[in-house]
Amino acid sequence: MDFGTTYLVLAVIFGLFMAWGIGANDVANAMATSVGSKAITIKQAVIIAAIFEFAGAILAGGQVTSTIRKGIVDVSSLGATPEVLVFGMLAALLAAGTWLLVASFKGWPVSTTHSIVGSIVGFAIVGIGMDAVYWGKIGKIVMSWVTSPLLAGVIAFMLFRSVQVVILDTEKPFENAKRYVPYYIFLVGFMLTLVTIMKGLKHVGVDLPIGTSVLIAAGCGVLTTCLGKYLVGRVKFDPSADRDFHYANVEKIFGALMVLTACAMAFAHGSNDVANAIGPLAAINSIVQTGELSQKSALPIWILFVGGVGIVLGLAMYGRKVIETVGTKITELTPSRGFCCTISAATTVVLASGMGLPISTTHTMVGAVLGVGMARGISSLNMDVVRGIFMSWIITLPIGGVLAIIFFFILQGIFV
């Protein structure tokens, strides 16, 4: 193929740019509740993400990735002109990366999945034709804008109300925290293992029956409970701390849990969302190597490295803005509230994966933060910030599409 090496170099650069955007925007979401509740510092968040996002991307990021993510576009008609797909994928990476850069700069938590989906649809409309887009799939994605934040919000609301009833609003919150927190820890281990199995390990071709998955998750839940009990046992009651803030000691216990949830969320996220950056890159690599279209493209390990490195760099260099929005600007978070957000988001991801619904980690996390805010009364929510976030969600798909169309024509103009 003419310009084969040039296409591949551009694909690596654009893929790195897109992965950087995922780190700056999406990973910031996964970490926002832990940082916003002051359970960990931004520096610790970067270190945790570097280790666990990278591990998730490399170990469970997928040995085989479909050329076109999630089957949203039919490319079978491009058999004779594979370079059209190369331009399309390059344009999609550049468009999604550009939108993520703008959104991260504004501090808007947007969905990286929806950014890349919108971009691929945009290219397909002008590059292949309207009929090539599976519009039913797009409809499902639009539906998830409503369902995922709503479901996460409801779960977070109920979970935080339960923490209020059994721990916070009692005579002896610290003693009750020590008594009941192990049950919540079990929930952490159980849910986050299920997320990893259902969203992460599928990419490696490990597709376990639901019964086996639940049993493994329950086992991990018991292990996490033992680890959590040990951590909670080491938290010393400090009478002076409670003078300034009645729940300071209780929050210390939840703070220990937030570290566990941050690690697990980062792993699940890395295993799932790295595909948004490397799916198109793998497709271009496959076309350049073979000169033809294949629906499945083998995934060399170096591509996973590009995704992993980009994600970590994005979070380290520019994740702060989105972390601030989700972690501190929607509502005030403490470790107990942040904990409820993370578990609710993880539970929603598991339920949605089980039902086969396309879901955005971002929308779920924001929905969970809103749910916890609602449990404390609507006045505890910053509605201006919430409105801005909702607006950015609505425009993500069309902006991705329009940018991809512009970049597609520019690339065609340069190379054809």
- pLDDT tens-place string over residues 90-121: 999 999 999 999 999 998 999 888 898 899 99
Q: Going by C-beta distance under 8 Å and a sequence separation of 6 or more, which residues neighbour residue 314? A: 19, 20, 21, 22, 23, 24, 25, 27, 104
- DSSP letter for 65, please: E
Phi, psi of 357 (to 5 degrees): -90, 135
Q: What integer pLDDT is reported at residue 63 of this predicted model?
A: 45
- Report the alpha-carbon distance of residue 368 to residue 156 in Å, rounded: 5
Q: What integer pLDDT is reported at residue 64 of this predicted model?
A: 39
Q: List beta partners, residue 64.
A: 298
Residue 416 lies in a domain: no
Residue 8 lies in a domain: yes
Q: Identify the residue with better confidence: 117 or 239.
A: 117
Residue 35 lies in a domain: yes
Q: What integer pLDDT is reported at residue 67 of this predicted model?
A: 41
Mean pLDDT of 386-397: 90
Mean pLDDT of 258-267: 78
Residue 59 lies in a domain: yes
Measured CA distances, 382 to 32, 199, 385, 387 (Å): 16, 32, 6, 9
- Report the alpha-carbon distance of residue 265 to residue 258 in Å, rounded: 10
Q: What integer pLDDT is reported at residue 68 of this predicted model?
A: 47
The lowest-confidence range among 119-123, 302-306, 352-356 is 352-356
Q: What integer pLDDT is reported at residue 331 of this predicted model?
A: 86
Q: What integer pLDDT is reported at residue 297 of this predicted model?
A: 59
- Residues of the domain holding 298: 4-411
Convert 112-131 to b/e letters by CB count within 10 Å (16 or more is b).
bbbbbbbbbbbbbbbbbeee
Question: Within 13 A of 203's CA, how many CA atoms are on the CB side?
Answer: 30
CA 270 to chain centre: 8
Q: What integer pLDDT is reported at residue 242 of this predicted model?
A: 62
Phi, psi of 190 (to 5 degrees): -65, -55
The lowest-confidence range among 65-69, 118-122, 206-210 is 65-69
Angle at 211 between CA 209 and CA 215, to 5 degrees: 120
Percent of residues, the chain, with pLDDT higher than 70: 89
The lowest-confidence range among 268-272, 301-305, 344-348 is 268-272
pLDDT, tens digit (0-9, with 9 covering 90-100), for 135-180? 888 888 788 778 889 999 999 999 999 998 998 888 888 888 888 8
Residue 165 lies in a domain: yes
Q: Identify the residue with better confidence: 356 or 212.
A: 212
Mean pLDDT of 15-20: 93
- Report the alpha-carbon distance of residue 317 to residue 328 in Å, rounded: 19
Q: List beta partners, residue 65.
A: 297
Q: What integer pLDDT is reported at residue 73 of this predicted model?
A: 81
Residue 400 — pLDDT band, cuts 50, 70, 90? Answer: very high
Q: What integer pLDDT is reported at residue 132 of this predicted model?
A: 86
| 100: its two tokens | 């993520």
Percent of residues, the chain, with pLDDT higher than 90: 21
Compute the CA torsion angle 341, 393, 65, 50 (nearest 10 deg).
Answer: -50
Mean pLDDT of 337-364: 80
Q: What integer pLDDT is reported at residue 12 of this predicted model?
A: 93
Q: List beta partners, residue 133.
A: 73
Task: Domain count for the chain, please give it.
Answer: 1
pLDDT, tens digit (0-9, with 9 covering 90-100), for 241-257? 665 566 777 888 888 77
Q: What integer pLDDT is reported at residue 288 of this predicted model?
A: 84
Q: What integer pLDDT is reported at residue 125 of this predicted model?
A: 92
Q: What integer pLDDT is reported at residue 352 of this predicted model?
A: 75
Q: What integer pLDDT is reported at residue 347 of this predicted model?
A: 81
- Report the alpha-carbon distance of residue 331 to residue 37 in Å, rounded: 10
- Report the alpha-carbon distance of residue 60 to residue 96 in Å, rounded: 23
Judged against a pLDDT cut of 80, whether residue 2 lies above it is answered with no
Judged against a pLDDT cut of 50, whether residue 361 lies above it is answered with yes
Residue 341 lies in a domain: yes
pLDDT, tens digit (0-9, with 9 covering 90-100), for 374-385? 888 788 889 999
